[in-house]
Amino acid sequence: MKLNERGLLVVISGPSGVGKGTVRRALFQMPHHDLVYSVSMTTRPPRPGEVEGVDYYFVDKETFLQRIKENKFLEWAEFVGNYYGTPRDKVDEQLDKGKEVVLEIEVEGALQVRKQMKEAVFIFLVPPGKKALYERLVSRGTESIDLINRRMKKAESEFLLAHKYDYIVVNDDVNNAADRIMAIIRAEHAKTERTIHNYIKMIGEK
């Protein structure tokens, strides 16, 4: 029996290179969940095989800029000439259906969302230490030492933003981290501020 029927917006963020994507994928592979992934809107043209509404919502620049004006994004950013954003209406639609909408996002975007949506749950995913992060970046094997050092520098400034989040989850093991996030989602649904309304209704009935 669910006292909170509305889904949660779950924002998974954290320093560059911490493994947000890996943890998010592990989360979606867990049994019995009601998670959906938040699909971004973009002005970037679709790549072969990309499906409208699954990979992205594809729109032209004019539409995107108009939506920015109308405050229809929870967050947005421009990246090498293209716009990317999280459409508020699509997120709301899923939350109303009782789905947990998962947003995996960089620190800067997460803090934009925080301003727009107080009731979302903000999770800061962190490595079990700086050394672990460095090793993870190196082991990818795809980036130059110079780029890795720049990423580490960026991560170090992002490390200091943890206090802006509701929860800190250590990504020591990907399944552990996913388990903890699932526990956070269950617990948040039981929070008094989210349940009291329906609880009062329930005890009012004969």
Q: How far is the CB of 74 from its own copies (least distance, A)?
A: 21
Q: Which stretch binds its own copies (CB under 8 A): 19-27, 92-100, 145-153, 175-183?
A: 175-183
In this structure, which amino acid lies at residue 122? F
DSSP state, residue 98: T
DSSP, res 41: E
Rounded to the nearest whole angstrom, what is the least distance from the CB of residue 8 to its own copies in the complex? 12
Closest CA to 187 of 123, 112, 106, 110: 123
Contact call for residue 206 and its own copies (CB under 8 A): yes
Residue 147 forms beta bridges with which residues?
A: none
DSSP classification of residue 52 = B
Unique residue bearing structure tokens 């780029």: 147
Binders of its own copies among 91-150, rule CB under 8 A? 123-124, 126, 128-131
Count of residues engaged in binding its own copies, rule: CB under 8 A: 37
Triad 192, 101, 129: Cα angle to 5°: 85
DSSP, collapsed to helix, strand or coil, labels residue 82 as: strand
Nearest 5°: phi and psi at 71? 55, 40
DSSP label of 46 = P
What six digits make up the tokens of 198? 């329906």
Binding piece for its own copies, criterion CB under 8 A, among 29-37, 103-111, 139-147, 172-180: 172-180
**197 makes contact with its own copies (CB under 8 A):** no
CB nearer its own copies, residue 98 or residue 128? 128
14 marked as binding residue: yes
Indicate whether 192 belongs to the interface with its own copies (CB under 8 A): yes
Asked if 165 interacts with its own copies (CB under 8 A), we say: yes
Report the nearest approach of its own copies to the CB of residue 173 (Å).
8
Cα 42 to Cα 80: distance, rounded to the nearest angstrom: 12
Give the footprint of its own copies on this chain (CB under 8 A). Answer: 1, 3, 123-124, 126, 128-131, 159, 162-163, 165-170, 172, 179-180, 182-184, 186-188, 190-192, 195-196, 199, 202-203, 205-206
